[in-house]
Chain A
Amino acid sequence: AQSVTQLDSQVPVFEEAPVELRCNYSSSVSVYLFWYVQYPNQGLQLLLKYLSGSTLVKGINGFEAEFNKSQTSFHLRKPSVHISDTAEYFCAVKGNQGGSEKLVFGKGTKLTVNP
């Protein structure tokens, strides 16, 4: 079974500052990792995913994440945030074995970008 821990429930930052949203996972098998974003009163949108290969993954809206197998982490970063990045961000994991389709989510991190 897999589990996800998002280390910060809320992250306030100023516009144009860098941000890092932290995610750690636990799994007995190799995994695929995902970051989703949820804007107010909307559904979830895929930001990026790690499947294999390069540990640095680039996504939409200037976000990137780095997979660190030894630390079982998949932190999300953006070098300069905008007001429009204010949203809730969810880290998710699923096993990459055949037939393992259940996606397990963390509890989310609310990012607030202030002017």
Chain B
Amino acid sequence: NAGVTQTPKFQVLKTGQSMTLQCAQDMNHEYMSWYRQDPGMGLRLIHYSVGAGITDQGEVPNGYNVSRSTTEDFPLRLLSAAPSQTSVYFCASSYGRGSSGYTFGSGTRLTVV
């Protein structure tokens, strides 16, 4: 049982480049979300999805796109990377039935130079 799998674990981008952070879960969870973690800021919600074909913005969505074509996958796209997007990104999922906790991936550490 793999849980939530994020790839890559590390990435260095140049300003202006685009890339996709991958997230996959094998628990048939309805709800998936992306957070970014910055020192002293905790985790801030970027985008989330309550099911296949349904996505919505979180607290800090600018510069990021998401799609949810399947229950298992929830990729995060950086359209034109900026140094302010240097961060650790976490994907999380849950059954989406209120009381369930989230399962987190191990994170992607992104540096934009």
Contact = CB atoms under 8 A, between A and B. Distances in A.
B45 A101 contact: no
A100 B45 CA distance: 14
Contacts, number: 58
A34 B98 CA distance: 12
Nearest to A32: B99
A106 B31 CA distance: 21
A90 B43 contact: yes
B42 interface: yes
Interface range on chain B: under 10, 10 to 19, 20 to 34, or 35 or more?
A: 20 to 34
* Residue of B33, B44, B96, B101 ringed by the most chain A CB atoms within 10 A: B101
A100 B98 contact: yes
Interface in B84-112: 90, 92, 94, 96, 98-99, 101-102, 104-107
Interface in A38-95: 42-46, 49, 51, 90, 94
Main secondary structure of the interface of A (DSSP, over half): loop
Interface of A: 6, 9, 32, 34, 36, 42-46, 49, 51, 90, 94, 96-108
Interface of B: 31, 33, 35, 40-45, 48, 50, 58, 90, 92, 94, 96, 98-99, 101-102, 104-107
